[in-house]
Amino acid sequence: MPPEAIHDLRAISLDVSRRRAELSADIRAAAQVGRAPGQIDGYAVQSRPAILRRLATMISEKLPRQLDRLVAPEPAGVALTTAVALETGLPTTVIRAGGGIGGAIHRGELVAVVVQVIASGDEAVRTADAVCAHGAAVAGVFAAVDLDQGGGARLATAGHTLHTVVTISGSDSPQDRGLSG
């Protein structure tokens, strides 16, 4: 059994706040950019199978049950969204940077937008707005990491709700250790 699988087995028995705290610490260790706190490389977050697996599980636990589809912004959200799809069995669609789509979005569907990292929220808003333009409803934006740089407020202003697994900002608060809700 690979070492990361053993780590995942231990995580099953931990309560949610402890799982988030450990995941936040692992994300910081794997993806911290330079010495500036709160700077995370979203691609590095997705490049570690043990981290990606736990993120997919924790995002899946936050999703509404009646969901029809997962949507990712291209290219950044594809790996995480695929991992969540494998966890849930839901189909995925990719919103391309130019506004086109890879896959399908059907009028009337309830869709979750999955993103790796939220900073300003601009990419998530563009993705959610593209979903709405195709006639589907957005159940929320589900992010692995919120960098606490105003993305949640930007999404709220656009009429979308942000759900995060961990929040990592420049300070050393309990939220930064993954204890956010």
- CATH code of the domain in which 40 resides: 3.40.50.2020
Residue 95's contacts (CB-CB under 8 Å, 6 or more residues apart) are: 71, 72, 73, 74, 101, 126, 127, 130, 131
Q: What is the pLDDT of residue 44?
A: 77
Asked if pLDDT for residue 99 goes beyond 80, the answer is: no
Q: What is the pLDDT of residue 11?
A: 52
Q: What is the pLDDT of residue 180?
A: 37
Where is pLDDT greater, at 39 or 2? 39
Q: What is the pLDDT of residue 4?
A: 55
What is the per-residue pLDDT across 140-176, written as a single tens digit (0 to 9) for each? 999 999 999 999 999 999 999 999 998 987 654 444 4
Q: What is the pLDDT of residue 26?
A: 77
Q: What is the pLDDT of residue 178?
A: 42
Residue 55's contacts (CB-CB under 8 Å, 6 or more residues apart) are: 23, 45, 80, 83, 144, 165
Count up the domains in the chain and report the number. Answer: 1
Asked if pLDDT for residue 6 goes beyond 60, the answer is: no
> Which residues form the domain of 125?
3-177
| Mean predicted confidence (pLDDT) in 46-51 | 84
The mean of the pLDDT values for the chain is 84
